[in-house]
Chain A
Amino acid sequence: MPRNIWLAALIAAMFASPLSAFAQDELRVVEPFQLQRLDTQTGGFQLRANGVTETLVQTNPEASVLPALAERWETSADGLHWTFYLRPDVTFHDGTSMTPETVAASFKALLPKGNLIKNAKIKDVTAGEGTVTFTLEQPFAPFLAYLLDPAVPVLAPSSFGPDGEVTAIVSTGPYRIESAELPQGLNLVRHDAYWGEVAKIERVRVDGVPNPETRVNIALAGEGDLVLEIPTTAIARVDRSGEAKIVRAPVPRVVMMLVNVKKPQFADVGIRRALSLAVNREAIAVTVMGNAELAANQYFPPAMKGWHFDDFKPQTFNLTEANRILEELGWVRGADGIREKDGIKFAGMMQTFPQRAYLPVIAEALQAQLKEIGFDLTIQVGESSLIPEAQNNGTLELGLGIRTMIYQVPDPVARLTTDFATDEPSTDATGATGWKSEAMREAVAAYNRTSDPAERLPLQRKMAEILQDELPVIPITFTDEKYAISERLEGFVADPVMQTRPLNHLSFKE
C-alpha cells in the first residue's frame, strides 16, 4: 500500500512546479534567440527589443534617432562634449525615480561592457542639473547612433550588486521582467508608471525557439501571437492556417560569399568579378528566398538610402563575360572541365553553417552555378565559429555568411569598420579575409569626423564603390523578415532595421 502512495506522490511531483503559472490572455512572443544570461552584454539586444531596457535615445522604423529618456541634447563646438537633457518624472521598474546621478552611475558601470560604444572612446560621464554630459577623447560624429549599443542601457541602482556586477535588470521600459527561465524564456509584466505610452497588454511571455520549423508549427497551431523569422517556405502555410497572417519587411542583411584574397586562385580582382558574374542571383532569390527583388547586385540593399546606388554597374548574371575574363587571365579548362593555371586548381572549399537554414541551400546552388565556369566548389557545413577561426589562421578559402549592416547600432559604419577597416582578428563569419584597403580606412575615418549629411554622402558612396569594385566579399542575396501575427493581435508595425517590437502599442482585438 505505501508503495502506491509513493508512486502517486512521484507522479504528482512530476506535474507540479513550473507547469502551473500560465495565463491565456498573455502576449506570446516567439523569437529565434535563446537568452543565455540576464546581463546586458549577452542579452542586451533581446531585452531592448522586447521593451525592457531603454537608453537616452531611441529609433523609429526608419532608423532615425529620436529622444527617449533624454528630451533633447547638444554638442559643444569642439565636438568633445555631448550634453543630454533628461526627461523628468521617469520611474524605474522598482518605483525609484531616474536622476542625473543614477544615469551617470549606470553608464559608468556599463560602459566597460559595451560592444560597439567603445569606438566612441568616452572619457567621462558627469551628472549636472537635470543633465548628463559625456566627454570624449576625440570628436566622434556618429555618437548618438553608438549610444544605442544595447549592452549599455540605463539601469536603476538596484540592478547592481555590491561589487558593481549586474544582478538584475531594472530599467525604464514599458515592460519589466517578472521572472526568467533561462535559456527558454522570459515572463514580462507591464510597467504601469512608464513615461510613454503604457502597454495595453498586461503580461508578455517571450520564448526562444531556435528551430525554424518548430516556430512555424507554433504559428500554425495559433500558439504564438508574434512569431519572428518565419522561413520563406512556410509563408503560404501560415497564411492559409487561419490562425495567423504574415507581415514581410525588408531587412538590411546581405548573404555573401567570403573570399580569402590571399589564396592564389582568388587574388586577382578579375577572378572575383568572374565568380560574381557566374552567380545567377535572380534564380537564387526566387527559389530560395521567394522574392526576385532580393537579388543582391551590390553590397547595400535598395532600402538603404545613401548607401545603395542605382547607377552602379550591376553584377548581372553573364556566363560568357565570366568565361572570357578567365580565359584572358590564363585559366584553362582541364579534361574534367575544371580550370587550372600554373598548377593551381580553380577550386575552393566553402564553409557555412546551418543556423540559417537557407545558407546550405544557397551554397548548393552556388556549387552548381560556379561549375559552369569551371570552378570546383566543395561545401562544409559546421559551427559558425569555424569561419572566423579559419579567417584568422588563413586557412579559409571561401565562406558563406550573413551580415546585418545595421545591427544594434543604427549606423552602417559600425559594422563596416569591424568588417573592412580593422587589423583586429575576425570573430564573426562576416567581412573581408586577407583584404586591406587604405582608401576604405580613410573613408571610414573621415566619416567618423563629420555629422554633416552633405559631407557624408560622398564618403558613403566611396565606401560602397570600393566594395563594388574590389569585391572583398561577393554579395548574393538580401533577406527579408517574416513575422507571423496572430489573428487576435492588432497594432503591429515591423521595425526591420533595429528589430525592436513596440510591444506597448499592441492590443488584442475585442
Chain B
Amino acid sequence: MQRAVRHAIPRAVFRRVLEAIAVALILATICFALVHAIPGDMALRTAVSRLGVENTSPGAVEQIRESEMLSRPLIAQYGDWLGAVVTGDIGRSFVSGRPVAEELLGASGYTLRLAAIAWLLSYAFALPLGIAAGLAPNGALDRATALAAAALSSLPTFMIGIALISVFVLSLDWLPPAGYRRPEHLVLPALTLALGLMAPSVRIIRNAVVEVQDASYMTYARIRGFGRIKAFARHGLRNAGVPIVTFAALQFAYLMDGFFVVETLFNYPGIGDAMVKALLARDVPVVMGCALLIGTTYAGISLLAYLICMALDPRLVDEGHGSR
C-alpha cells in the first residue's frame, strides 16, 4: 500500500496542476466573453471609471479606445492576451495603467491576510465546539451549538458586520470602524467573516465526530479499555478529519462573497472589490487576471485539501486516482 501511495500522489498532483491551468484559462475565457457579450461602450465605461462620473470628455473616450486598441476584432484581442499570458505577462489595467500582476498581488495580499485570519479564527472556535458537541450528541452543548449555527447561517454577512460595528465601534469605542493599516483594523472584518464561516463548520465537524464515534474501530478501541476522549484522540480525529478538510476547501466560494460585503463595509482593499470594480469598468485585463487568480487559487486549495486527506487516510488514494 505504501508504494501505491508513493506512485499515485505525484501522478494525481500532476493531473491536478494541469487541470488547474485549464480551469483558470477557461474561467478567463468565459469572463472575456461575458464582458464583451453585454452591450455597452467599453471605452466609455473605462473612461468613466478612470475620470469620474462628472468629468469624462468625448476626447478622453476616444483616446482610451485608441490607446487600448479596443476597435480591433475580438478574436485578435483575445489572441494577443493569450499570447502574452504564455510569456507570463498578463497585461496592464485599462483604468489604473499599472501592470495587472502588480495590482492583483497588492489586492490579494490584503485578501489573503484577512482570509487566513478569518479562517483560523473560525476554526479556533469551531473545532473545540464541534468536537465537544460531537462527543456528546444531543447534549446541552450540541443543542446550543446547533441553535447558534442555525441562527448565524440565517444572518447575511452585512447584518453581522453592522451589528459588530454598532457594538464595538459606535457603542464601546474599542475598535476603529474602517481601514487596513493597523492590526486592529483587521479585527472586525475578520470576526465578521469568521462568524459566517463558523456556523456551517461547527455542524460539519460535529457530524464527522458523531459518525466516527459510531464506527466499529472506535467501539473496538473502547473495548480495549481506552476512555471516550482518548479513543477519539487516538483513532477518531484522523478519520473525522477527511470530511472536515473537504468542507473547509469548499468554503472558498463563501469567503469570496463575504469578502465583497466586508470590503465595502470596512473599506478594506481586496480582491473582491478589485474584481467587481474591474467588471463594472470593463477593465478586461484585470477581469481576466482575477479569473486566472480565482481559478488557480480554487484549484490550489482543492489540491491542498486532497493532499491533506491523503495524508490523513492513505486508503483514499486507491479510489479513483485522485478524482473527487
Contact = CB atoms under 8 A, between A and B. Distances in A.
B105 interface: no
B51 A214 contact: no
A396 to B, nearest CB: 14
B178 A389 contact: no
A418 interface: yes
B176 interface: yes
Given A385-B45, A404-B54, A218 B113 contact: no
A11 B182 CA distance: 15
Contacts of B264: 211, 214
A184 B116 contact: no
Contact of B180 (A184, A389, A392): A184
A383 B45 contact: yes
A182 to B, nearest CB: 6
A489 B53 CA distance: 31
A221 B176 CA distance: 7
Contacts, number: 122
B213 interface: no
B179 A207 contact: yes
Interface residues of B, number: 44
A39 B51 CA distance: 11
A468 interface: no
A509 to B, nearest CB: 21
Interface in B43-64: 44-45, 47-61
A384 B53 contact: yes
Given A36-B49, A42-B51, A221 B169 contact: yes
A429 interface: yes
A367 interface: no
Contacts of A407: 54-55
Given A184-B180, A389-B40, A425 B52 contact: no
A385 B48 contact: yes
Interface stretch (B95-103, B233-241, B302-310): B95-103
Interface in B13-62: 40-41, 44-45, 47-61
Contacts of B97: 37, 39
Contacts of A116: 57
Contact of B44 (A19, A37, A389): A389
Contact of A22 (B50, B57, B182): B182
Interface residues of A, number: 51
Nearest to A237: B170
B177 A221 contact: yes
A37 B183 contact: no
B181 A18 contact: yes
A402 B98 contact: no
Contacts of B117: 14
Interface string B156-177: 0000000001000110010011
Contact of A427 (B44, B95, B173, B265): B44
B259 interface: no
Given A211-B265, A220-B170, A223-B177, A36 B50 contact: yes
Contacts of A211: 264-265, 267
B70 interface: no
A431 to B, nearest CB: 11
A115 interface: yes
Contacts of B173: 221
B52 A424 contact: no
Given A408-B55, A424-B58, A428-B56, A384 B48 contact: yes
B58 A42 contact: no
B21 to A, nearest CB: 26
B266 interface: yes
A6 interface: no
B74 interface: no
Contacts of A37: 50, 95-98
Q: Which of A22, A353, A392, A428 has the most CB of B within 10 A?
A: A428
Given A18-B181, A19-B181, A355 B53 contact: yes
B266 A214 contact: yes
A403 B170 CA distance: 34
A510 B178 CA distance: 27
A217 B169 contact: yes
B155 interface: no
A218 B177 contact: yes
B181 A385 contact: no
A51 interface: no
Given A383-B45, A389-B44, A427 B61 contact: yes
Nearest to B177: A217
Interface string A86-122: 0000000000000000000000000000011010000
B280 interface: yes
B50 A42 contact: yes
Nearest to B51: A42
B177 A14 contact: no
B54 A403 contact: yes
A429 B117 CA distance: 42
A74 B48 CA distance: 37
A428 B177 contact: no
B269 interface: yes
A116 B269 CA distance: 32
B193 to A, nearest CB: 15
A397 to B, nearest CB: 17
Nearest to B50: A42
A355 B58 CA distance: 22
Q: Which of A36, A37, A41, A404 has the most CB of B within 10 A?
A: A36
A85 interface: no
Nearest to B59: A118
Nearest to B175: A221
Interface in A158-208: 182-184, 207
A428 B55 contact: yes
A427 B60 contact: yes
B54 A217 contact: no
Interface string A375-402: 0000000011110110010000000001
A427 B96 contact: no
B180 A214 contact: no
Contacts of A389: 40-41, 44
Nearest to A216: B177
Given A19-B181, A209-B267, A214-B177, A386 B40 contact: yes
B47 A427 contact: yes
Contacts of B269: 183-184
A115 B55 CA distance: 8
Nearest to B169: A221
A430 to B, nearest CB: 7
Given A14-B116, A182-B96, 14 more contacts: A37-B50, A37-B95, A37-B96, A41-B51, A211-B267, A214-B177, A217-B178, A221-B173, A385-B48, A389-B44, A408-B55, A425-B58, A427-B48, A429-B53
5 contacts: A22-B181, A223-B179, A383-B45, A384-B48, A427-B61
Interface of B: 40-41, 44-45, 47-61, 95-98, 113, 116-117, 165, 169-170, 173, 176-183, 264-267, 269, 280
